[in-house]
Structure 1
Amino acid sequence: MYRHSLRKRVAIAFAVCVAVLSVVWGFAFFAAIKLSEDRVVTQQLEHAAEIYPAVTINPRGYDEVDSLPEKLRDWARTDPAEGTYEFTAEEFHVAVIPAGNEQGRAFVVFDVAEIEAESSEDWWWLLVITGVVGTLGVLGFGLGLMVIRKAVAPVVELADVVASIDLEHLSAGDHKRIESNRFGDDEVGMLAETIEKTLERISAFIVRERYFTGSASHELRTPLTVITGALELLEQSDLSPADEKVLARLRRATHEMRTTIDMFLCLARETDDGLYEEQFSVMPMVSQAVEQQRYLLNGKFIDVEIDALAEPIVCGHPQAFSIAINNLVRNAFEHTLDEQGLVTVRVKDNELLVTNQISSEADERHTPIETSSQGYGLGLGIVQRMCERNGWSFSLLTDEKRVIARLSW
């Protein structure tokens, strides 16, 4: 249980990390300054002890140019301006100040030749300082990681729990694995609670979907079975030609109702017992679909041509593919205008084309363009959804002369 929000915890973590590093770096720089001061004084005392009793005051003042150290005389004769100067090679620090002598200025010289450390000693100090700075950097980086990791630990924990849930196969109790109450009342707790409620609703929906499809499959098909049986009994009776036409219409309506039920149940199912991985042949389904929908051509002068350029095998849901083919064939039969023309079903290795003419002047000079399936029947929208579920592709190509429905796999 966390008492502060995630935003506040992250801010506190950064503040603590910066504060600790600032204090450590401050002490380190202060120690370096004090160490440098002590080192200079110690070097001066050691030099004075070495030349005792001839101890001279350092720095020293000079009124005359000729009294300056020999290395500085030529420079002093160039009449330098007032200020401070450093001579690295000669190891002198010089201050030029105004004075009441003949030259109008005096010189204060600090000889650092005996108090500056040797180059080897400087390298050792540089190595020590680099080691200290590197150690502090590593400690600071480790401290930052530790503090930030602790601050974002609830987010990582929630992500691990969500990642362990198989979203493709949700069960009714998966939402209970979130346990949102253990994340507190901050932003992470709100997110965990939202995910938990969402998974709970999805799980409940899946349960309802399975119950509905199971019940609907039985409750809707039972009356159709009764109607089909009654129609078979009527077919055995002596019927007048008018009654036979009515009976044929009832038979077709029953078949269409059964097909519609199969379509919507197929789309409603979240899972279908691995049927989406079956392999089946395309040509038998094409032939069956043409025969089942041929009654739509009664009274029309329409020819149907099946052009089998290949014998493809498709992987997917066989019932969904059969429903899709029936819809495409039915749509072509119903939307061929003028009650004449040609409907072509062409089967290739990776696609199926259903072409119907919408004008008797059709020719090959027009290039069809892809269009929406709206306006060509509800069945094409269902075909589109079934193709998406199975990983197939569906498109509708039209021009002024014909309509081409293409299903590819």
Structure 2
Amino acid sequence: MPRQSLRKRVEYAFAWCVVGLSVAWGLAFYAAIRFSEDRVVVNQLQRAAENYPDLTMSLRGYDDAGSLPEPLREWAQAGPDEGMYEFVAEELHVAVVPANNARGRAFVVFDVAGIEAASSEDWWWLLGITGVVGVLGALGFGLGVLVMRRAVAPVVQLADVVVGIDLEHLSAGDHKLIESSRFGRDEVGVLAGAIEKTLERISAFVVRERDFTGSASHELRTPITVISGAVELLEQSDLSEEDVKAVDRIRRATLEMKSTIEMFLCIARESDDGLYGEEFLVSPLVNRAVDQQRYLLNGKCVEVDVESGATPIIRGHPQAFLIAITNMVRNAFEQTPNGQGPITVLLTEHELLITNRVGGDEVGRLESAGSDGQGLGLGIVQRLCEHNGWEFFLQVDEAQVSACLSW
């Protein structure tokens, strides 16, 4: 049976809460009025019983102001207007009414001595009423909380289910935890169904991504391995000087292609068998990246100063780190004009800073390449850093470029 909509349930819950509180307050006020009436009658009867058999009347009428009780005579002779008057000190209530006499006024006096509660008793009644009001308020608050909790219980239940799902490591069956059918056909059910279908699509995408990267890793690396083997065989043959240069170019291109394949596969993977938590030394990878890219400086009179002020050990994906710093080194080596060295590679405890000089054309190209002033290689470095929790920034000015990777 479909549930009512969430909006209707909240409206009904609010209405029931208001009705319940209104009834409770109405009954409380009705009881207070009836109790006050009974109390006045009981006090009058008690006063009469105390004076029995000499029954005195608390309510009396006077046609002449001179016959009024002493405290009221002076006031009555001043000719008060018609209406109701109270004399607290004398414990008297007086009504001035029209009459057929010389002054055209008559007086009805109600002696409330012994009928009205004493001041100390009034304080106790005020305290009691305050307590009743507080209890009703607490009951109303509790009722409101209970009713609203029942009204929004499906939303809380759905939120608890979603919180229990590890969104960073989705599995193929996580969408089944939602069970949108148990939430009915109201707004919560629609939301639960949308979340369930979305998680199902994401889980399927993760499975396809893992299958693709696994297959692509094998299919792309196999021809690179074949080419590398063929290059090694050629290097062992008797080659002319021009053939040696050609084979050397093939070997470098193969290494670059291998690095590019590993770089894109590393970015494409959602997870990589826990390698993102591995500890490794930074210095050997920096030296390796510099050595692999030195051929880019062939024919350039540019020196490379590698300064290592520490031997940091960081946590992350070592292959991703090597790819990142290789791109940083390659960009520095490619952009530095002939004779505009040195290129400085500074390694400290918490960062790697690579600084190189550039020409005017290179500055303009870097500043126009992308919204962050980064080329393709440095954009990939940014992606790798985000995967591993590192920070990367690039600073370009008229004379030099500074690329910094910190951890």
TM value normalised by structure 1: 0.91
The residue number in structure 1 matching 2:384 is 386
Letter in 2 for 1:178: I
Cα deviation code 1:123-146 (max 9, x no counterpart): 554454444433333332332222
Q: Which residue of 2 aligns with 1:249?
A: 249
Distance, in Å, in 2 between the alignment partners of 1:123 and 1:393 is 70
Alignment-mate amino acid for residue 134 of structure 1: G
| 1:337 alignment counterpart | 337
Using the TM superposition, give the Cα deviation of residue 333 of structure 1 relative to its aligned residue in structure 2, in angstroms: 0.8
Q: Is the CA contact 2:44–2:115 (under 8 Å) kept in the aligned structure 1?
A: yes
User: Structure 1: which 5+ runs fail to align?
Assistant: 361-368
User: Which 10-residue stretch deviates more, 188-197 or 30-39?
Assistant: 30-39
Match of 1:46 in 2: 46
**Whole-angstrom CA distance in 2 between matches of 1:377 and 1:299:** 24
After superposition, residues 185-334 of structure 1 pair within 5 angstroms as 185-334=185-334
Match of 2:169 in 1: 169
On the 8 A contact 1:65/1:77 being kept in 2, the answer is yes
Measured in 1, the distance between the counterparts of 2:291 and 2:16 equals: 79
> 1:353 corresponds to which residue?
353
Amino acid at match of 1:379: G
Whole-angstrom distance in 2 between the partners of 1:45 and 1:154: 60
- Residue type of the alignment partner of 1:404: S
Classify the secondary structure of the residue corresponding to 2:325.
Answer: helix
Corresponding position of 1:407 = 405
Amino acid across the alignment from 1:312: P
Mapped contact 1:17–1:144 kept (Cα < 8 A): yes
Cα deviation, residue 403, structure 1: 0.8
Inter-CA distance 340–34: structure 2 relative to 1 (3 Å threshold): closer
SS, match of residue 117 in structure 1: coil
> Do the aligned partners of residues 393 and 372 (structure 1) sit closer, same or farther apart at CA in structure 2, a change above 3 Å counting?
farther
- Conservation of the 8 A alpha-carbon contact between 2:278 and 2:315: yes
Partner Cα distance (1:376, 1:78) in 2: 100
Task: Render the CA deviation track for 1:340-388: whole Å, top value 9, x for unaligned.
Answer: 432111112221111111149xxxxxxxx9x978555311001111111
Contact 1:373 1:396 in 2 (8 A): no
State the AA in 2 paired with 1:149. R
Question: Within 5 A, what are the aligned runs for 1:106-117?
Answer: 106-117=106-117
8 Å Cα contact 1:342-1:356 kept in structure 2 = yes
1-side partners of 2:20 and 2:373: how far apart? Answer: 70
User: What is residue 152 of structure 2 aligned with on the other side?
Assistant: 152
How many equivalent pairs are there? 400
- The 3-state SS of whatever aligns with 2:395 is strand
Q: One-letter code of the match for 2:231?
A: L
8 Å Cα contact 1:44/1:115 also seen in 2: yes
- Map Cα deviations across residues 237-290 of structure 1 (whole Å, 9 max, x no partner): 222222222211111111110000111111111112222222222221121111
Q: What whole-Å deviation, never above 9, does each CA across 1:288-322 have from its counterpart, x for those lacking one?
A: 11110111111122111112222222222111111
Kindly state the Cα deviation for residue 204 of structure 1 after the two structures are TM-superposed: 1.1
Describe the superposition over 1:84-106 as per-residue Cα deviations: whole angstroms up to 9, x where unpaired: 21111211111223444333422
Percent identity between matched residues is 68
Q: 2:184 corresponds to which letter in structure 1?
A: G
